[in-house]
Structure 1
Amino acid sequence: MTPSPVRLPDVASLQAVLARLDPASAGADLIPALAAAFPGFDFRLAQVDDEYWRDTRSVIRPGGTRIGELQPWMMAELAKDGGDVKAVWARLKDADLQITEWRGNSAFVFAPTGPAPADYIQIALGREVEWRAGPVVNPDYRPWGEEELLDPGWPRDKPLPDTDRLAGPVYRLLDRAGGAFIHLRSFLDRCGRIEREKREAKRPELERRVIRETGPRGTTRETPFLALVPDYFEFVPREVRFFQDWEASNARSQRVFAHWALDARDYTYKGEREVGFIPRPLRMPKERLLMTPETSVHQLMDRIEALDRELDLPFGWFFLMTHGHWVEPDVGLAIAEGLKAQRVRLPDPDAAVLLRWAERTYGF
């Protein structure tokens, strides 16, 4: 008997699973609920400490009775006073009305679909809690424009006690730019295809383009653009290179999703398709690795080895370097020069990846 094919999740089915979760036990129930809805996947959850705020707020009475959403309610209050912001503030600053606010943190669910680095799925979620944020207007500060009434930022300057928790936690798909659910292998294929299509569309123009250079005594030389950039149509997007480098290096002994989440995007803006991601480390190192004039390449080797031990990932420093914040690109360039001069050594697979990167750098 042929086994039934595993059904990949989709946005509508994921939203249905999340809607059925009880906030009282959502954290414990999330993975079992996903496993029941999509048999055959080994789901695992990673939380990220990156507090954000939704723009959805409600107006409530002290007992918790909801009056309505803040923006339309406040627009109606402004209309009562002919748009006079000062008058609205004077009228509301002593009222007992309060506003709520949804605060969240990113959470990512992963599940492998095969043995290769890109063989997995990722679900981007927000774990969100609704809080009693404060009075409907700041009684101590008169706003200068209606935007400060419609989108108040002042409640966010202090942590809130647990007694002000109103609802949640709830899990919600973070579909900010079409990247709530991705199958990485398919997503990378899409990245490469879209990039090729963009470049192919420019082929007629580039085949006609020439670079003019002025030489001695006013002589002019013209060089076809494609002669100067012969590999223009062979460009590999950084997203694809990230996974290629992972597979080619000693990092391949571990899964990408054990160390990185991806802020993925797939949208069209002004007729232009944008597909890609920004990698986010799930584990931050204790400190940044910066290049200074007095740092020797041997000291850099000691520090990258210590960083790999801290991350528990072979060649992990390299991928932090492509991320661009925790390890400066100059560190990689200095080590690459040390390899060429045979002053230092890396395992052969890692050395090959680093030298290839140094020839054509990329970063996020």
Structure 2
Amino acid sequence: MTVAARLPDAASLETVLAGLGPASADADLIPALTIAFPGFAFGIAPIDDDYWRDTRSVLRPDGTRLGELRPWMIAELAKENGDVTAVWERLKEIDLQITEWRGTSVFVSAPTGPGVADYVQIALGREIEWRAGPIVNPNYRPYGKEELLDPSWPRTDQLPDSDRLAGPLYRLLDRAGGAVIHVRSFLDRCGRVEREKREANRPELEQRVIREVGPQGTRETSFLEAVPDFFDFVPRELRFFRDWEESSAGPQHIFAHWALDARDYTHKSEREVGFIPRPLKPPKERLLTTGDISVHALMDRIEAVDREVGLPFGWFFLMTHGHWVDPDVGHAIAEGLKAQRVRLPDPDARVLLRWADRTYGF
């Protein structure tokens, strides 16, 4: 059913998130979004990807905050004329501590229509402030001031709940323009930007010549003759969704299985729009083509992957990512299909053979 409601926007989302109390933020997030944006069936998917914000505070043992770490430490260095060792020697003898915000990504999605790309995705960070440790590492003398200004040594430690200071708080993640996306519109943008880039190079490409030197001399071929479909290129992001829609995975929502780490930014006057898909439930083990494993054994293993992740043809989309299923698995099964040694459902076979003819990955 098509949702006749305004799409979530960054400013309204920030207002909703600011109104969540830390004690009940987890329970209140979806209800608060539903109230702010009626008509949407929001769902939440956490990602296990710990990150750290660069915001830290200096804390006394009684909990009094002396300020943000970086400007406070710069002032301490100035007292010692920039002598890093002198600052370290002094600070390691006192009880000051530093705090640190640690977070994990959370993706909130809601369908906006019947199509595979008809949904909105919101990338959030779920963050908690912790008492991370003493102001300096007493057992390790820093070699430069950056080790004082941007300490990384506490980050590997698992912190007890007694060191929890604030949170959880939710905030929009600054994902290079991809914090809030309507996926169908985002895909349209991906295709349009790619076409515009290629069209902008048309005059130069029409003049480009490929020269090949062989026994019969030099042969010249125009670039567009050698690559006749250059202007028909389909970005991998669009192919991912098209393959999903045309395969056995099609009846299920993409956002039930994948989050999109989206980006839309300009670097050196070049527009970059796209995403990296991230599985919400990756398999426990990677599937590789090792030794002389047969295509029939690979078929058994891809079926096991599909059962584990709860998605028909799920192995294929894990393969396009390139980490959990090796692309060689796809090539081996494609060759098995061509030789009629194995079978896949017809829609899946068409998608796989199309991929094998012109691969893509993230």
Question: What whole-Å deviation, never above 9, does each CA across 1:166-212 have from its counterpart, x for those lacking one?
Answer: 00000011113111000000000000000000000110000000011
Match of 1:274 in 2: 272
1:159 maps onto 2:158 in alignment: yes
Question: What whole-Å deviation, never above 9, does each CA across 1:235-263 have from its counterpart, x for those lacking one?
Answer: 00000000000000010110000000011
- Return the offset for 1:157: 2.2
Question: What whole-Å deviation, never above 9, does each CA across 1:275-323 have from its counterpart, x for those lacking one?
Answer: 0000000002121110123111111111111111111111000000001
Match of 2:288 in 1: 290
Q: 2:223 aligns with which of 219, 222, 225?
A: 225
Match of 1:95 in 2: 94
Q: Which runs of 5+ in 1 are unaligned?
A: none
1:253 partner SS: coil
**Do the aligned partners of 2:206 and 2:224 also contact (CA within 8 Å) in 1?**
yes
**Do the aligned partners of 2:175 and 2:261 also contact (CA within 8 Å) in 1?**
no
1:102 partner SS: strand
2:139 partner SS: coil
Alignment of 1:113-124 (within 5 A): 113-124=112-123
Match of 1:201 in 2: 200
Root-mean-square deviation (CA, aligned residues, Å) is 1.1
Report the AA paired with residue 138 of structure 2.
Answer: P
Aligned partners of 2:235, 2:200: CA distance in 1, in Å?
Answer: 17
**Do the aligned partners of 2:175 and 2:262 also contact (CA within 8 Å) in 1?**
no
**Do the aligned partners of 2:92 and 2:137 also contact (CA within 8 Å) in 1?**
yes
Aligned partners of 1:262, 1:180: CA distance in 2, in Å?
Answer: 10
Q: 2:238 aligns with which of 217, 235, 240?
A: 240
Aligned partners of 1:254, 1:157: CA distance in 2, in Å?
Answer: 38
1:334 maps onto 2:324 in alignment: no
Aligned partners of 1:308, 1:73: CA distance in 2, in Å?
Answer: 53
**Do the aligned partners of 2:57 and 2:98 also contact (CA within 8 Å) in 1?**
yes
Aligned partners of 2:29, 2:213: CA distance in 1, in Å?
Answer: 66
Aligned partners of 2:305, 2:3: CA distance in 1, in Å?
Answer: 44
1:359 maps onto 2:330 in alignment: no
Distance 1:4 1:90, change over 3 A: closer
Aligned partners of 1:205, 1:11: CA distance in 2, in Å?
Answer: 40
Aligned partners of 1:208, 1:194: CA distance in 2, in Å?
Answer: 23
- Return the offset for 1:215: 2.4
1:353 partner SS: helix
Of all paired residues, the percent bearing the same amino acid is 77
Match of 1:51 in 2: 50
- Return the offset for 1:5: 4.0
TM-score, normalised via structure 2 length: 0.98
1:211 partner SS: strand
Match of 2:72 in 1: 73
Match of 1:60 in 2: 59
Report the AA paired with residue 250 of structure 1.
Answer: S
- Return the offset for 1:50: 1.1
**Do the aligned partners of 2:3 and 2:40 also contact (CA within 8 Å) in 1?**
no
Aligned partners of 2:62, 2:19: CA distance in 1, in Å?
Answer: 27
Report the AA paired with residue 176 of structure 1.
Answer: R
List structure 1 segments (4+ residues) > 2 angstroms apart after TM superposition. Answer: none
Report the AA paired with residue 339 of structure 1.
Answer: L
- Return the offset for 1:106: 0.6
- Return the offset for 1:158: 1.3
- Return the offset for 1:96: 1.3
Report the AA paired with residue 181 of structure 1.
Answer: V
